[in-house]
Amino acid sequence: MSTAVTPEIGPDQPKQPGMGVFGHIIGMFYEPTKVFEDLAKKPSWSSPLAAYALLFAMSLVFVTVAGQKIGWEQIQANNLKFASKAQLDRLESLPPEQKAQQVRIGQKVTQFVSYGFNILRLVFWAVVALILWATFNFGLGSEMKYPDGLKILLMSCMPYVVCKAALSTVATLAIKDPETFVMQNPIGTNLGFYLNFNETSRFLYTLASEYDLFYIWALVLTAIGFSVFAKVKKGTAFGVVFGWAIVWSLIISALAMLGGR
């Protein structure tokens, strides 16, 4: 009887192909560690840019649906509920024509920011990537490159934005009372969605809204990505990523409290 021998892979034999762009995007939902390990072996930006393009498209769909279903006039009116008492008093003190003009300007600004939010988001991620890169390199002695940090954020935030944008679009289409719609928090995946804004402190409301289930998911993926690229233990990466996330949430919650009613 002959015995089968499994041939060894020699150095001259071709390596197994990588996961590819589609594999990276889909893999972020069920095997993120493998995706980041594959991305760490190649300098290509194809997958992160494809992920960002998908985020951009999904977000535009949500904004377009919201504008058509709810209407920008109603969206702006709902946003005014979150304005401070001083802002509302200033608006109410204006003559009718000036007040109407300010409301129209607010609508245009809200519409412009909503459609351009992903550009602002990209700038914000670039800053976050810089902070995390500096923390891992100068604080923990890693030797990762700054662009890799931005790649991690683009890939990690994809499930958060894609899933939430899709669910938000569906929720917007199904909404019965446009006056209850909040552009910044359209679905109940965080505690802030269930709080009464007028009866809750600005600090608590902002803090409760910040920790969205999809946001936490994105933080987990970010920590996994930095553990791979920075070559540190996952526990260390989780501590850094969630530590900075807590600092950020406390800062914006404090700012919201200072500008409160």
Longest dimension (CA), the chain: 100
Q: Average pLDDT, stretch 125-149?
A: 96
pTM of the prediction? 0.86
Compute, in degrees rounded to 10, the torsion defined by CA atoms 51, 31, 227, 38: -70
Question: Residue 89 sits in which domain range?
Answer: 45-258
- How far is the C-alpha of 258 from the C-alpha of 61, rounded, in Å? 34
Q: Average pLDDT, stretch 26-55?
A: 93
Please, which pLDDT band fits residue 239 given cuts at 50, 70 and 90?
Answer: very high
- How far is the C-alpha of 162 from the C-alpha of 118, rounded, in Å? 12
With contact defined as beta carbons under 8 Å apart, do 106 and 76 qualify? Answer: yes
Helix (H, G, I), strand (E, B) or coil at 2: coil
With contact defined as beta carbons under 8 Å apart, do 19 and 27 qualify? Answer: yes
Higher-pLDDT residue of 240, 87? 240
Higher-pLDDT residue of 90, 28? 28
Which pLDDT value is given to residue 15?
Answer: 53
* Count of the separate structural domains present in the chain: 1
From the list 207, 197, 188, the residue with the least C-alpha distance to 261 is: 197
Residue partners of 32: CB distance under 8 A and separation at least 6:
156, 221, 224, 225
Residue 9 lies in a domain: no
Q: Average pLDDT, stretch 61-70?
A: 93
Residue 17 has pLDDT above 70, yes or no: no
Residue 81 lies in a domain: yes
Residue 241 lies in a domain: yes
Residue 27 lies in a domain: no
